[in-house]
Amino acid sequence: MGEIYGKYCSPLGEIVIACKDNAVSGLWFSGQKYFMSTAECKEPVFEENEALRNVKSWLDRYFGGEKPSPYELELKPCGSEFRQKVWKILLEIPYGKTVTYGELAKAFDTPEKKMSAQAVGGAVGHNPISIIIPCHRVLGAGGEMTGYAAGVDVKMRLLKHEGYLL
């Protein structure tokens, strides 16, 4: 079965959701950088199914002030093995907390090789499941509010929503 697409009206703008085989494969703010970059269909037909309803319910709860776990949903983002590893680490960042790109990079360091924050940043930036895989919780060195595919203003609003003191 191919991907099914739905739309969600969030307090921060319209979101497009993609699900395949009852798993979330994409979640993008309309018009963001890399919008639908991993989608199977670039001109989707919007439908409704149980997987989409589950994502919308999760988003309702998130924007309603709850702290739903990303593990409540089956996630299947499309990306390289390295990107998959980075996205898996992002899932461990608690609600309302942040890490830096440098701190994330250290998770990949070995005695033989140091991982660059830029390499990790590329993987974070290409996260195809925004909000649920919380790439908005990654900051630049010294807590600098840097890049977010949907815009730094959206990143700041998500962090403020989660109670992170800016």
Instruction: Read off the amino acid at residue 160.
Output: K
Has 41 been annotated as catalytic? no
SS3 10: strand
- Catalytic pick from 9, 19, 78, 135? 135
Cα dihedral: 77, 79, 82, 83 (round 10):
-60
Gyration radius of the chain's alpha carbons = 15
Contact call for residues 100 and 140 (beta carbons, < 8 A) = yes
Nearest to residue 54, comparing CAs of 132, 112, 125, 113?
Answer: 132
Tokens of 46: 């919007």
Question: d(Cα 24, Cα 99) in Å, to the nearest integer?
Answer: 24
Partners of 59 in beta bridges = none
Catalytic residues: 135
